[in-house]
Structure 1
Amino acid sequence: MARRSRNRGNAERGRFLSRGKHKPTITTERWRFFVEGKVQGVGFRQGCCRRAMDLGLSGWVRNLPDGRVEVQAEGTPMALSELRLWCERGPADARVSQVRPSQLPITGADWFEIRN
């Protein structure tokens, strides 16, 4: 019985996957959420900051003079979706009426903070 040669031609070598050459890239996005309703004075910023850090997001959250809360967060699309779902509910005392999302350019920040 003949043994198969270990040296394969270039055409045959291309059929097999090599490990380590194709590393999956992690997509990063940055989103802004304007949260409307009864969202100030109920611990919304603190809860949002805590949730964002749990999800590994970077960015910031702040109160706006018109009674809304603005959130800018950067990270994976899945984590951003989770944060948006949290913003639609908010903390126990909040009454969220609407969340308006928009996409922004990535800044590369690596922390999450509460701004005044």
Structure 2
Amino acid sequence: MGLERRRILFSGRVQGVGFRATTSWLARGFEVAGYVRNLADGRVEVVAEGDDAELDKFVEAVRGELGGFIRDVDASPLTTDAPPLDGFGVRY
């Protein structure tokens, strides 16, 4: 099974509440790589790579931990010729 890369956009009250740090911490429990960052429009973007089932579990963990702050989640696959992502971190 190959790697899938997704862009996941979280909207709601997701900035200024520890969302990035919590998401980065949660990623350690899954076989995913990528990053989380705030967007200028108030959303939080996660770009994550892993197998399909692991990505689903990771997103559900984020929703479970931070669901009180999330109004909407929009996920879409990313196609890229870039090398695989390594590690998971916060981008500024």
TM-score, normalised to structure 1's length?
0.70
Deviations 1:45-104 (A, max 9, x none): 111111112102111000011110000000011110012213334437x52000000000
1:41-80 to structure 2, matched below 5 A, reads 41-80=16-55
Specify which of 58, 79, 82 is matched with residue 105 of structure 1.
79
CA distance in 2, matches of 1:59, 1:27: 16
DSSP-derived class of the 1:81 partner: helix
Query: Which structure dedicates a bigger proportion of its chain to strand?
Result: 2
Tell me if structure 1 keeps the 8 A contact 2:9–2:44: yes
Give the structure 2 partner of residue 15 of structure 1: none
Using the alignment, how far apart are the partners of 1:115 and 1:104 within structure 2? 18
Percent identity, please.
Answer: 37
Corresponding pairs, count: 90
Paired AA for residue 110 in structure 1: D
Q: Does 1:33 align with 2:33?
A: no
**1:42–1:91 contact (8 Å) kept in structure 2:** no
CA-atom RMSD, angstroms?
Answer: 1.6
Larger RCO (alpha carbons 8 Å, 6+ apart): 2
1:61–1:115 contact (8 Å) kept in structure 2: yes
Aligned match of 1:14: none
Question: Where does structure 1 lack aligned partners over 5 or more consecutive residues?
Answer: 1-25
8 Å CA contact 2:9, 2:73 repeated in 1: yes
1:96 aligns with 2:70: yes
Instruction: Tell me, in whole angstroms, the C-alpha distance in 1 between the residues paired with 2:63 and 2:74.
Output: 10
SS at match of 2:17: coil
